[in-house]
Structure 1
């Protein structure tokens, strides 16, 4: 692939224009001016740091840019003690792993070449690194530290640091930070009017861009953003009607519904209450603040990556960084066991949730096709579909060649201005493609711009930066108060009812920590994660995968494949991708480094992906438990065991083969597969049998009568679609059932 069409200096010039938002400019300029390559390390001693610098030089080829201090960035992170939210259960804590790993590299170098690592030739250093990557390096260190895992984590981190640098992004033709007014040219082989068309073009003149750019639309004007004031404040001395723990797709809708009914409701959120227009930068690294980064231990044969893969923090929860892909499940998703004899059927049906799906789609302002190909009589979506980006157009091309039906996908992002009662006008999507790292214009229907403002308008209180540690009960076994820590101070909120909406990891963790609601022994059991294998390819056309809604196209022809040797099915989805995410997956999936990584990333702008979202069965061997290792609060870290079953493996093989056919038919080259599982599901199962389930069909605990659980932990089966829409619909249903029971005096 050709190198970047952008001359050196493009990004620095762009930062002086209105193409870049103030927050993005602030973040990127700080990074450009940050690390002094001659600074001394704080975490590593000088000998270890010298080894790390030599390793970084070999792993990351920095030919086109002034050297970026990669080793120092790792040293600074370890000094701060921050992480990305998870680690392999077989690995020691991060700081110890990196110390041991460098010792292991030094030991292997001496055993293989009789000299320390920094004294080896580049060829010899490569040989040591290859041996470590392949798990074949000699030395006693590797008897206790898995060399392949250590190498993977080191390579991924250095790669993420490098491709987070604006000058490195410039070399691969990425100027996604220049999206203050969004993108108009999102299709194949399209450039914005201000972009240079050839490598030989002159360096962009910042003044010309300024003059040639349209004025920012209202969608990017921070003054137009909806950031409701928090006007209600309930006393810590008196009980409120309900406390809601968590403000994501499970907690926010019921919070609004309860507040609308006139109840006194307090929501506790572990993260910040952001103002996206002011606080969100178009920069993946800085937006990691939206991911849950308290460390989780990942075990099993297919350990799950947490953090940016599936876990959010902040008012709005994971919807702050979800891709807004909101397909409905099909009716038969709810009775998998009836149809296939495996898994578990839901205690409610599609028809029970159908009116709630319609309501949620109206509130969010879902953009989608009408009629919908796989359910023609569905109530029309509020808005027409968003335009198809490059990846969607290429998937459409490949599917047409194979006779596979496709459709523009339903996305919770606005294809036109939309008036939402209780919130006001929300602005149109600007195609900036940054959904997975936070929408700064309010077009994506995350909970902070939809249900949360509605809840606040009706008197709910949202308290941010509140980490819940204890649940108090009275003599009758009912929840009487919630104890939480806010900015270092322990507080206690009495309540009459509790809605636990903290997600499929933190909800069971909190219940296990408090030894509550577990007479069935099912809390933490039945953990599921959707098969989500991806196939990537590179095309002669320029795709520019950072533009447009990431999941523009869908096919549900594979919902129940005729040639399947597995239960259930999956959907197909086109995917765009941001550069750091792509580089990270590339190194984790293929293990590329050095010149091979550099060469592949030159093709970033020609890259497109397809992935699946498939059914996952519940198994006894997949579960969450409390580990013996403590977090910074002194609480046991959760350990999650996950291994794909035979059904998931067969589904993945089937899907990968089909996606490769689609991409080949579309003209892709350099195909590669990234194996993954997505979302966190199960662990507090819903059902009708108190010995096999944690909550009843209304989300109510069988053991604690005023405890309700409402997040994806209560899903009996995974469903073969993304969970967000079902979560929101189920949340409204749980709230309505609670209100009905309260009217009858049954709460």
Structure 2
């Protein structure tokens, strides 16, 4: 049996489900009576009353979203279901609700006003677990509700739904690769090849292309499913469910940090936002102290010194990363994917980021895109690229491997690597419960930083660094509201960044400031909640909101461990060191928004209110400076500040010794011959930039090591 099916999963009983429904209904209910009238009156412009009323009356229960939420809870790890189930059980009793909420009566029977009082109290509780529980339940409610294609919601907030261009000539003009997949019969299947590769993302795709080019017989196994571009609906809930790990419902053990990870044919490259930055150098000031001194004299001058991430890795016993051969790997990948910043067309949000930085004298950079040397305006790319312009592995390296005879399995979970006498000889996996064994001379694990260490652990490897050194580039949001429409889901995604805060500690660790693609589900989830009507009012302004993300290069890592079912668990807490990086980035991002012309700004900190900008004074306003002081003083606390991640690195670290790493400088594991790891899990430290290009080039290098070792062995 596959470990996914080896143990019965707990389920919530009827009383517990009633509590779940009551909680999420508290966050996003159907407004009625005087509350609905007040909502319409407050937000009316004289012409949209009908749309406002329909939106106000739309809630989780009457839109049948509660069932979706219960189903999502049932997909969580068993221990998390048990943990939440215990809270729901307590709240199903009068005494339990009194203990956790201060009101006598089982939670579902309370009035919405009483329930609102309770969940609001949880969000500001001195008890961290209650804050995290409140935030997690709200996130689940908001993500589930606003990702649905609810016409009343879309009409009120002005969201067009799926990309209006999705059926245009732009889509039909592109021919997409056609893949055939091996189906495993009920009685099972045994296959043989030279190299079996687990994973089809940036690591697995490049490995397949390079090894087939050298004449190797290759089989690529992917646990996700292949969706042809014509099958991509660009509906939020559909994209999240089909293309992301556990339907985007992945978090750290304590629930304080949410993780987005691709899980489909092409892995993360299918949902990536095209950002293709080299992990090379950080341009930073002589020191934060000197920067502040210069600023105090009214200077916007920044003294630039190089800090090399690749040099840092070389000093860890990996000289390849400062070699010309590694740069050749980067150049080869860049050429195949058509990576360039020459065809960028900044959308309104990225233009505003650049304008705010220009006014403040902050340094900026364009972000190269993997778009085949062409302009790519696709704000829905996180839900899959119907246009075939984004050059993920599905469009490039996997297709190269396909044309050279590679074979593929989808929907196939690899349970373990087969090891005989200290050598890898294949893998065992399951497709729809049917066993498949692939015998191979070499095994390449490219399952990503979450799943690769779990697979090594299930396969019996004992290296103490497996699963350690997990880096996530923790992200915080800040927001600015503008008089003009921003429409942060239109145009090219993430084409510019500011490096002003990237060296907070003077050693290359800090934050980059970028613009995300923002659709209703994400906007709703990262917004603060104080009451049902106030949150809906905030959503009405979505098209006028510019979000900036503060992406931190984390120095302190977390861990991946395998649960009782053999599946990975994320244990990660933002360290004090990395919290300082987030704080600095949030401070700078708020200043950028004000300089760019925002009328109000706010953070995702629960205990910090919105700030109304004095346009005449801007960033020099003493009240704004006091606001920034409060933002830093409150800082980021688990459960009261939304922290997320879309990058996963480390966990199978590359190094020069088994005492400090999992794999050799060649990518081969120290413990098992012929077993290689080739994905972002091999990063020695966090890259500090979107890890896609570095993952591609890492895998390309490891492929050359494999081929060169075979040549050497024959001499």
Q: Give the TM-score of the pair, scaled to structure 1.
A: 0.75
Written as runs of structure 1 = structure 2, the 5 A alignment for 1:120-269 is 122-135=112-125, 146-163=129-146, 164=148, 165-180=150-165, 216-217=168-169, 219-221=170-172, 224-230=174-180, 237=190, 239-269=192-222
Aligned residues of 2:213 and 2:404 also touching (Cα < 8 A): yes
Aligned to 1:77: 68
* 2:356 maps to 1:398: yes
| Alpha-carbon displacement from aligned partner over 1:503-529 (angstroms, at most 9, x marks no partner) | 11211101111212x3x4211111122
In structure 1, distance between residues paired with 2:573 and 2:380: 31
Q: CA 1:53–1:626 in 2, change beyond 3 Å: closer, same or farther?
A: closer
1:460 deviates by 0.6
> Contact (CA 8 Å) 2:91, 2:100: kept in 1 or not?
no
Residue matched to 1:603: 541
Q: Is the 8 A contact 1:391 1:576 kept in 2?
A: no
Counterpart for residue 54 of structure 2? 65
User: Does the Cα contact within 8 Å between 1:240 and 1:264 map onto a contact in 2?
Assistant: yes
- Residue of 355, 378, 387 corresponding to 1:441: 387
SS at match of 2:354: helix
Q: Can you list the C-alpha shifts for 1:360-381, whole angstroms capped at 9, x where unaligned?
A: 122112241xxxxxxxxxxxxx
> SS where residue 390 of structure 2 aligns?
coil
Superposition deviation, residue 533 in structure 1: 2.6
The answer (yes or no) to whether the contact 2:205–2:393 under 8 Å persists in 1 is: yes
Aligned 1:717-736 pairs, distance under 5 A: 717-736=685-704
Q: Which moved more, 1:344-353 or 1:358-367?
A: 344-353
Q: Which residue of 1 aligns with 2:471?
A: 528
Task: Indicate whether 1:689 and 2:635 are aligned.
Answer: no
CA separation of 1:553/1:238 partners in 2, compared to 1, >3 Å: closer, same or farther? closer
CA-CA distance at 1:468 after TM superposition: 0.5
Residue 298 of structure 1 deviates from its aligned partner by 2.1
Structure 2 stretches of 5 or more lacking a match? 1-10, 37-52, 282-307, 605-641
Whether the 8 Å CA contact 1:108–1:128 is kept in 2: the answer is no
What is the match of residue 413 of structure 1?
Answer: 371
- 2:563 aligned counterpart, secondary structure: strand
1:575 equivalent in structure 2 = 516
- Give the drift of 1:132: 3.6
Question: 1 or 2, which has the higher helix percentage?
Answer: 2
The equivalent residue for 1:632 is none
Name which of 256, 274, 282 aligns with 1:324: 274
What is the alpha-carbon root mean square deviation over aligned residues?
A: 3.3
Query: Following the alignment from structure 2 to structure 1, what is the Cα–Cα distance between the partners of residues 444 and 84?
Result: 34
1:541 aligned to 484, 505, 509, which one? 484
Paired positions, count: 611
Residue 21 (structure 2) aligns with: 52
Distance 2:74 2:244 in 1: 11
Q: Matches of 1:94 and 1:113 in 2, distance apart?
A: 20
Q: Contact 2:225 / 2:411 at 8 angstroms: preserved in 1?
A: yes
SS state of the match for residue 348, structure 1? helix
1:286 maps onto 2:238 in alignment: yes
Shift of 1:239: 3.2
Partner Cα separation in structure 2 for residue 299 and residue 665 of structure 1: 38
Q: Cα offset for 1:149?
A: 3.2
Q: CA deviation at 1:491?
A: 1.3
Distance in 1 between residues matched to 2:563 and 2:23, nearest whole Å: 36
Preserved CA contact (<8 Å) 1:682 1:715: yes
Select 1:652's aligned residue among 582, 595, 614. 582
SS of residue paired to 2:648: strand
CA contact (8 A) 1:60 1:159 kept: no
CA displacement 1:76-116 (0-9 Å, x = unmatched): 236646667679x8773555554544547973399855555
- Look up the match of 1:354: 327
- 1:61 deviates by 5.4
Q: Partners in 2 of 1:61 and 1:694 — Cα distance?
A: 53
Which deviates more from structure 2 when the two are superposed, residues 607-616 or residues 443-452? 607-616
* Structure 2 counterpart of 1:335, from 294, 303, 311: 311
- Paired with 1:328 and 1:553, the residues of 2 have a C-alpha distance of 14
Instruction: Show structure 1 runs of 5+ residues with no match.
Output: 1-41, 137-141, 183-215, 369-383, 417-427, 629-634
Matched-pair contact (CA < 8 Å) for 1:346–1:716:
no
Separation in 1, partners of 2:103, 2:411: 53
